[in-house]
Amino acid sequence: MVQKTPERSVNRMIEQATPLKNRLLNCMPLELQSRLIPKLKMMSLEQGSVVHEAGASLTHVYFPIDSIISLLHVLENGTTAEVSVIGNEGMIGVSVFMGGNNAQNQAIALTTGTVFQMSAIHFRDEFNQPDAVFRMLLLRYSQALITQMAQTVVCNRHHSIEQQLSRWLLMASDRLPHNDIIMTHELIASMLGVRREGITASAHKLKEVGAIDYHRGHIMIVDRIKLEKMSCECYLVVKRETDRLLPCHSVESPESVDTTSNWGSMISSGLHAKCISRV
């Protein structure tokens, strides 16, 4: 399910990777970061691998680096819908500190990529420190997560598949270090909780107007502005609120203050290629 990189090389990679290639971790003061680094293990995830099952008791939390992880709800009849999509701006496993400790939904990797893994015990230790920096930041992230879920509620209610697909592609793109969304229509359909044919039809239209291009499991954004226009307001609402709550300016990308910036590009530029060897 979840594959591990040999530990020795991992630790060297993590040290080199400072500042940490996860926005949440990168927000933290440097001394906190250096306290966290020994507790982080870099791992690679295959597309489709299950990070945790629904109802599972969580033993670890995960900070995506260049992978996208989806919180997926599976109904009794087997149909699915994505509750939240999480990339380098966040983490998997908020219930570790929210309480209950049991995930309500399945977490599944949508792309092959890397994450930082941290044990729930270490994480809780840090969360309960009297120095509230870590806690405060995690709570702000939780608020961003809530915002995303709330917006998904209304988006599911009121917006067309075409709008939702546009939104979803923009969100995916923001979390990837390159402009190649390696996903089939089928996969996206199961995330949005619609038929594959619905995605095919909408994607076709987005291609016709020149917003995207795609080709057998690969989707590229060719005109981001156009795609944002095809999308509903939901994309920008969530993005703006997340930027407001986590205004972290990473060392190598001062332009991240710009709220219209692409988080993905923050990663693809700069140190990334040097520090993290893809597994």
Binding site for its own copies (CB under 8 A): 71, 73, 75-76, 79, 81-84, 94-95, 97-100, 104-105, 128, 130, 132, 136, 139-140, 142-143, 145-147, 149-154, 156-158, 193, 233, 241, 244-245
DSSP characters over 129-145: -SS-HHHHHHHHHHHHH
2 alpha-carbon distance from chain centroid: 17
**Nearest approach, Cβ of residue 106 and its own copies (Å):** 11
Choices 116-124, 128-136, 146-154, 159-167 (CB under 7 A): range interacting with DNA: 159-167
237 C-beta neighbours (distance < 10 Å), count: 17
Q: How far is the CB of 52 from its own copies (least distance, A)?
A: 15
Query: 94 or 170: whose CB is closer to its own copies?
Result: 94
214 binds, among its own copies, DNA, none (CB under 5 to 8 A by kind): DNA
- Smallest CA-to-CA distance from 25 within 85, 113, 69, 91 is with 91
Q: Which does 204 bind (CB under 5 to 8 A by kind): its own copies, DNA, none?
A: DNA
233 binds DNA (CB under 7 A): no
Task: Find the binder of DNA among 217, 244, 257, 278 (CB under 7 A).
Answer: 217
Instruction: Select from 93, 192, 181 the least CA-distant residue to 145.
Output: 93
Among 39, 195, 226, 272, binds DNA (CB under 7 A): 195
SS3 assignment, position 245: helix
Query: Which of its own copies, DNA, none binds 198 (CB below 5-8 Å, type-dependent)?
Result: DNA
CB of 73 to DNA, least distance (A): 15
- Does position 175 bind DNA by CB under 7 A? no
Name which of DNA, its own copies, none residue 136 binds, using a CB cut-off of 5 to 8 Å depending on partner kind.
its own copies
The reply to whether 72 sits near DNA by the rule CB under 7 A is no
Task: Tell whether residue 194 is a contact of DNA (CB under 7 A).
Answer: yes
Nearest CB to DNA, comparing residues 33 and 184: 184
Residue/partner pairs of 53-57 with CB below 8 Å, 24 or more apart: 53/103, 53/106, 54/103, 54/104, 54/105, 54/106, 55/102, 55/103, 55/104, 56/102, 56/103, 57/101, 57/102
Q: What is the 3-state secondary structure (H, E, C) of 143-205?
A: HHHHHHHHHHHHHHHHCCHHHHHHHHHHHHHHCCCCCCECCCHHHHHHHHCCCHHHHHHHHHH
Number of Cβ within a 10 Å radius of residue 109: 24
CA gap 239, 243 in Å, rounded: 6
Comparing CB distances to its own copies, the nearer of 6 and 130 is: 130
C-beta closer to DNA: residue 160 or 277: 160
Q: Identify whether 130 is preceded by a cis peptide bond (ω within 30 of 0).
A: no
* Positions that interact with DNA (CB under 7 A): 160-162, 184-186, 193-198, 200-201, 203-204, 214-217
